[in-house]
Amino acid sequence: MSKALLDANFPRLIDGKTMHLNVLEGDVNPRILSVGDAGRGERISSYLENLQIINSTRGFITYSGTFEGVPVSIIVTGMGIPMMDFVVREATSVISSKVAMIRLGTCGALKPNTKPGSIILASSSRFISQNYSYPVGPAYNLSSKVHSDPDLFTIFKNQLISIFGSENVDEGVDLTCETFYSAQGRKDPRFDDCNENLIENMVVEEPEAAAMEMETFKLLHLASTSKGKIAATACMIGLLNRHTQELMDFSKLHDIERDAARAALMALIRYPLDN
């Protein structure tokens, strides 16, 4: 593949494909499910008919097809906000209509009574970043809030509750973290991370904090700045509870993931995309 570029500002390769996702107009459908993990993406792609798969050398994989007759795409996003930025910008650059996007991820649960293995919906999200000028200022900063699209959130919540039951579906403020380790308050004696009381402090600053993960804030923030083009929401499977240290039964993860993906696809096809 030629690496010659057509445009320095929003690079496309000489064949017209976006530089990182490797997609062209027609390759991505306006209803998009974003997942972090490549195995999850492959497993849930079995929901799609008329499947087309586009790989990229940057780790993104775009599965496009139909779900109950409606065109949808599932994109393997990878981890962290730069990867979500590539996905949202490049996928939507090849779609002329409005777009609905749902992220289905995993997280650490923050509320003491959230059972590991529950689904946690992000009604909104805040970003935790490390302050690299510390000790000038606090060691970690918490951003202001961005919100899920209220209609997509409600449609998705109803689908999740109909599959899992309301006792297994929580909601709250997602905390998207710059990293998995230091910015999520994990202790690593080999490094001076200055994060001893990070979780306790963040939960005081954001009493509705429900989840810690690494992409949702970027998705919701880009949607909120997209001038009406993108409606987005997210949910995560709580792998563990950071308060109680309890872990989920990992033998159930693929079943939960499959059912949550079905709820997300149902919500995406029900969301009215009036163009």
Give the whole-angstrom CA distance, residue 224 versus residue 233. Answer: 11
CB closer to ligand R1P out of 186 and 270: 186
Q: Which of 107, 198, 220, 264: binder of ligand URA (CB under 6 A)?
A: 107
Minimum distance from CB of 212 to ligand URA (Å)? Answer: 5
CB closer to ligand R1P out of 169 and 219: 219
CB closer to ligand R1P out of 17 and 146: 146
Angle of the 216-224 helix axis to the 81-93 helix axis, nearest 10: 40
> Which of the choices ligand R1P, ligand URA, none does residue 184 contact, using the CB cut-off of 5 to 8 A by kind?
ligand URA
One-letter-per-residue 3-state SS of 80-138: CHHHHHHHHHHHHHCCCCCEEEEEEEEEEECCCCCCCCCEEEEEEEEEEEECCCCCCCC
Please state the φ and ψ torsions of residue 204, each to the nearest 5 degrees.
Answer: -70, -45
Residue 117 contacts ligand URA per CB under 6 A: no
Under the rule (CB under 6 A), what is the footprint of ligand R1P?
35-37, 79, 105-106, 180, 213-215
As a residue count, the chain comes to 275
Minimum distance from CB of 272 to ligand R1P (Å)? Answer: 27
CB closer to ligand URA out of 61 and 177: 177
Residue 180 contacts ligand URA per CB under 6 A: yes
Euclidean distance between the first and the last CA atom of the chain, given in angstroms as a whole number: 34
CB closer to ligand URA out of 29 and 216: 216
Residue 241 contacts ligand URA per CB under 6 A: no
**Could you check whether the bond before residue 135 is cis, i.e. omega within 30 degrees of 0?**
yes
- Contact 189/87 with Cβ under 8 angstroms? no
∠ at Cα 40 (228, 63), nearest 5°? 55
Q: Which of 94, 104, 120, 214: binder of ligand URA (CB under 6 A)?
A: 214
β partners of residue 5: 13
Minimum distance from CB of 3 to ligand URA (Å)? Answer: 33
Q: Which range binds ligand URA by CB under 6 A, 105-113, 145-153, 201-209, 247-255?
A: 105-113
> Which of the choices ligand URA, ligand R1P, none does residue 116 contact, using the CB cut-off of 5 to 8 A by kind?
none
